[in-house]
Amino acid sequence: MPKADAERLRHVAFTGSDRIALLRAEHGEAADMYVRRASETPDPWALRRPAPRFDVTDYVEGLVAEIRELLVEEICWGISCDDDELRDLLARHEEESGPLTIVLQQPPDARLLDALVTHFPRLLFLFAHRQAVAAPGAADRVRLDGMTPGQEKDMVRTHRQFMPRSAGRSGCG
């Protein structure tokens, strides 16, 4: 994964007012590896992938509702909390573990971007999709350089090859 992209993602996470990054990616796992590299810690930033809800009339409203529910479950431990409590808990989580990162495997649109920044200013959003970088309405967002499709496949293949082997090991034996 390109070092410059890791630096850009860290910059967005810790200094960006709109914490949104765009990544051209073919494989869903690529975003995980970008977040892991940007984290620069043994434990990567927490990463979640909300699924859009289709039980509402508006796609953006459904995604906002799904993210809110995910946050209540993950950050508030399933106990209802108001926006101020949620903001405080997210700030504490970020201080202790880095930013909670939401990966969306779709191209962004202007209305969705505005809603996410308005409702969730403390979250880091990474749009990982083959058309994410060229999405209309995303002109002023941070674009990660990404990899060629071949490089991305090699990265995912290598990760899959070595992760199961190293995951079962616990220290020196």
Which is more confidently placed, 52 or 3? 3
pLDDT digits (tens, 9 = 90+) for 135-167: 666 666 778 888 888 888 888 887 777 776 544
pLDDT of 171: 41
pLDDT of 120: 93
Which is more confidently placed, 173 or 67? 67
Mean pLDDT of 68-85: 90
Phi then psi dihedrals of residue 75, to 5 deg: -100, -35
* pTM of the full structure: 0.84
Mean pLDDT of 18-31: 88
CB 138 within 8 A of CB 18: no
What confidence tier does 170 reach under pLDDT thresholds 50, 70, 90?
very low
What confidence tier does 172 reach under pLDDT thresholds 50, 70, 90?
very low
Instruction: Quote the percentage of the chain above a pLDDT of 70.
Output: 88
Domains assigned to the chain? 3-156 (3.40.50)
Buried/exposed 71-106: b ≥16 CB within 10 Å, e otherwise: bbeebeeeeebeeeebeebbeebbeeebbbbbbbbe
pLDDT of 103: 94
How many whole angstroms from its chain centre is CA 34? 9
